[in-house]
Amino acid sequence: MVFHLNLAFSSIDEGEHPTVVDRCYRPLLDLAEAGIPIGLEATGYTLRAIKKVAPEWIDCARHLISEGKVELIGSGFCQIIAPLVPPELTRRNLEYGLRDYDALLGAKPEVALVNEQAYSKGILPLYQAAGYKAVMMDWAEPASHNPNWSRALADRPQMLEGAAGVRLPVLWSDAIAFQKFQRYIHGELSVEEYFEFLSDLIVKGAKAIPIYTSDAEIFDYRPGRFHSEASLGGAEFECISILLESIKANEDVELVLPSEALRHLEPETAPIRLETSQVPVPVKKQRKYNLTRWGVTGRDDTRLNTLCWRKFMDLNAGGSDADWEALLQLWASDFRTHITDKRWQSLLEGLPVESEQASYAEANMEAEVPEAISIRQSGRFTAIEAEGVHLVLNSYRGLAIQSFGFGPADLSLSGKLDKSSVLGTLEHGFFEDIAYGADFYSGHLVHEPRHAHKITDLGRVKHDVFWQEASNAVVIQGFLDTGAGKLTKEIIFCPSEQSLTIRYDLSDLTIERGVSRLGFVTLNPDYFSEPDLFYACHNGGEDLEYFPLSCSAGVQEINHGKAVSRLVSASTALGMSGGCLFLGDDRTYVRLDMDRADCAGLGMIESRTIRGRNFIRGCISIDELDETSRMVPSGLADRMSPLRHHIRITLGKTRNLL
C-alpha cells in the first residue's frame, strides 16, 4: 500500500498546504504508529513544502522510517514526465530527490514509483543508474495492450526489461484496485462489495495485492479538479483505519511494506516489456490519461514545454543546482493539467520576458539556380531533380509533397508514385475501400478547431522558386489564404543532404484551439519491405527506441491520433525527446525532425493493411484536446519569443542508423 503525497497538486494552492498536511498526511503517520505498514511516496519538493508548514511531521516520518514502520518510495525532486524530457533532466531529478530524502528523512529508497505512471523503456536505465532496485508501475493499462499476457502476471512482481537490456523488478500498482479502495472509503461501495473484490483476487491466485497506490489528498479533503468528485463526508481516515485493521486481523493475509512483496518475485521469471507499437508510452488509469495530457494540451503545454527545452539548452553547458531545481519545477507535470488560476499567474509573473531568437538567413531571390539542378513545371506539379534525388510538389494542394525519393521524377508528374518514390501522396482510389477513398498527402498541415470547420494548407497556391546559395538549397515559397487568415509556407530542398525543410509562418492566422498536426509523411508502400518496417524515436532515454510495424497479417493496426472520446482527441503519442522520428525498413528510413526549442511537438504513427496494401504515415502534433485544455489565451505567448513551426524531412540509409 502506497500513498502518493503531492503538495504540487495542480488544483491545490499553496495556502492550502497546512490544511492538506493536517487532514491527509498526519493520519497516515497515525496509521503507521498503530502498526499498519504503509509506503509513502513524495517528491523532494513536497517534503520541503511539508517542512515549511509542519516540521514535526518530517521528524515523525523520519522516526517511523528508521523503525521500519513506514517505507519511503522514491519519486524525484519534482514529478516530471520522463518520456517528454531529456535524460539529463531525469538524471538530475532522481539525484536531487535522493539528496532531499537523505537530508530530510535520513532514508535512501530502493523502490521508485514512475512519475504519473508514464513509462518508456528508455527511462528504465536511468532509474537503475540512480541506484533504484525496483520500480512501481500500473498493471491495468499496459495489460490492456498486451492481450498475450497471462492474468497470472498480475499476481506477483515481475521482471521488467527496458532499453539496453536493463532489467529491474516491477511492483504493480493497479488502477482498478485503488479505485475500488477509493470508492469504498468515499461510500460508493459497501464493505461486502469491497471484500468480495479482494477475495476474488485471492481465489484467483494473487500473492501480492496493491490495495492502494494513489493520492493521499482525496481522503478527508477534495482537490476540486472534477465536478464528479465524491462529496466530503468526513471521518474517511477513520474508515481507512478500521478497514486496514480488519484486513490485518485476517489470518489468511499479511499487510506488508511495498518492498517486502518482492519476495514473491520468482527467481527465473522471464522478463516482460510494458510498451507496444500501439502504445509506446503506457500511462496510468483510463485511456484519457496519455502522453498528450502533459505534452500538448492543458493551458498551453506546447509553449511551456518549448520554453523548458530552451532553458535546458541554455543550462546544459553549466548552471547551479538552484538553476536546475528551478527548471525541474517549471517542467513539473502539475503545471500541465488542472493548475489553478492563482498558481498559473504566479508562474507567469516569475518568468522573465524571453529575448527574440535569431532569425534564419533569407534566401537570395536574385541568385540563379545552378544548371546541375533541374526544375520542371508540368501542370499542377513542380519537379526538382539533382544529385540522384527528386522532389515533386503539388501547387493545387498547397505545395503538398507529391513525391520525394530517388532517381528521376517522371512518373510522379502523372500523379502516381514511382517505385523509387519513398514518400508522397497516395492518390484517391489507391486503396480499394471506400472508407479510404481520399488523397493521403505528405508535407501538409491540418488544424481542427473545437467549434469550427477544419483548416488546412491544401488550397491552390502561387509560388516562387529561387536559390539559397548559403545552404545549397532550392527554396519554394507560397502564400495561402486559409479562410482564417494568410499562411506562408516555405520549402527548402537540399538535394546534397537528401532533405527538405518546411517552414510555416502562422502568425496571421486567427484560430481557436483544437487539434493541430503537421509534417505528415505518407510512405510509398511499394518502396518498403513489409517484414522489416519499423518506427523509432527517443522517449526520454539515451537510446533510440525501435518498434516493429509488421505483423503476420501485413502491418499492425496503429492509430496514435485516434480520439478516445469527444473530449480527448488522441490515444497516445511519442515523446520525441531527441527531436526526431524515424519510419522505414532495413534499407531506407524517413526522418522527421522538429527542434525542441522551436516547438516541442509530439510524434504520432498511423498504420494498417487495407485490402492487401499498406497504409503507413507519421506526423507531429502541436496541439490536442482533453479535459485539461483551456480555450482562452494562457498569457505565456507574451513572455516568450514565438514558436517556430519548422519540420525537416530527410531520407537516409538504415544501416547508418543502427
> Could you tell me the strand order of the sheet in which 70-73 lies?
70-73, 38-42, 2-5, 213-215
How far is C-alpha 256 from the chain's CA centre? Answer: 33
**For the chain, which residues make up each domain, given as ranges?**
2-274, 374-656
pLDDT digits (tens, 9 = 90+) for 590-638: 999 999 999 999 999 999 999 999 999 999 999 999 999 999 899 999 9
Let me know: does 395 contact 478? Beta carbons within 8 Å.
yes
pLDDT digits (tens, 9 = 90+) for 176-229: 999 999 999 999 999 999 999 999 999 999 999 999 999 999 999 988 654 455
> Where do we find the cell 497470472?
152
pTM of the model: 0.95
**Which pLDDT belongs to residue 292?**
98
**Which pLDDT belongs to residue 419?**
87
Percent of the chain with pLDDT over 70: 97
Question: What's the CATH code, domain 374-656?
Answer: 2.70.98.10
**Which pLDDT belongs to residue 363?**
53
Can you tell me the distance from the alpha carbon of 533 to that of 583, in angstroms, rounded to the nearest whole number?
8
**Which pLDDT belongs to residue 310?**
97
**Which pLDDT belongs to residue 199?**
94
pLDDT band at 344 (very low <50, low <70, confident <90, very high): very high
Cell numbers linked to 221 = 479533503
Least confident of 93-97, 103-107, 369-373: 369-373
Quote the mean pLDDT of the chain: 94
**Which pLDDT belongs to residue 470?**
86
CB atoms within 10 A of CB 437: 11
How far is C-alpha 371 from the chain's CA centre? Answer: 46
**Which pLDDT belongs to residue 34?**
97
CA dihedral 643, 648, 654, 657 (to 10 degrees): -40
Q: What is the residue-wise DSSP string for 533-602?
A: -EEEE-SSSSSPEEEE-EETTEE--EETT--SSSS---S--B--TTSEEEEE-SSEEEEEE--TTT---E
Residue 519 backbone class (left: φ over 0; alpha: ψ -120 to 50; beta: rest)? left
Question: Distance of CA 259 to CAs 73, 144, 256, Å?
Answer: 9, 25, 8
Arithmetic mean of pLDDT, 293-318 = 94
Backbone angles phi, psi at 632, to 5 degrees: -105, 155
pLDDT digits (tens, 9 = 90+) for 422-453: 999 999 999 999 999 999 999 999 999 998 89
pLDDT digits (tens, 9 = 90+) for 108-155: 999 999 999 999 999 999 999 999 999 999 999 999 999 999 999 999
Distant-in-sequence, close-in-space partners of 635: CB < 8 Å, separation ≥ 6: 344, 345, 348
pLDDT at residue 269 greater than cutoff 70: yes
Distant-in-sequence, close-in-space partners of 536: CB < 8 Å, separation ≥ 6: 544, 545, 546, 547, 581, 582, 657
pLDDT digits (tens, 9 = 90+) for 463-485: 999 999 888 999 999 999 998 99
CB atoms within 10 A of CB 190: 11
pLDDT band at 232 (very low <50, low <70, confident <90, very high): low
The runs of H, that is alpha helices, within 120-256 are 124-129, 140-144, 175-185, 191-203, 236-249
Can you tell me the distance from the alpha carbon of 540 to that of 316, in angstroms, rounded to the nearest whole number?
16
**Which pLDDT belongs to residue 241?**
97
Can you tell me the distance from the alpha carbon of 157 to that of 209, in angstroms, rounded to the nearest whole number?
10
**Which pLDDT belongs to residue 553?**
81
Least confident of 41-45, 307-311, 315-319, 480-484: 315-319
Q: Give the three-state DSSP class for 262.
A: helix
pLDDT digits (tens, 9 = 90+) for 352-388: 998 876 555 555 566 788 989 999 999 999 999 999 9
Domain 2-274 part of CATH 3.20.110.20: yes
Strand partners of residue 502: 491, 647
- Name the residue among 493, 499, 500, 498 with its Cα closest to residue 467: 493
**Which pLDDT belongs to residue 169?**
98
Distant-in-sequence, close-in-space partners of 395: CB < 8 Å, separation ≥ 6: 380, 381, 382, 460, 461, 462, 463, 478
Q: Indicate the DSSP class of residue 612.
A: T
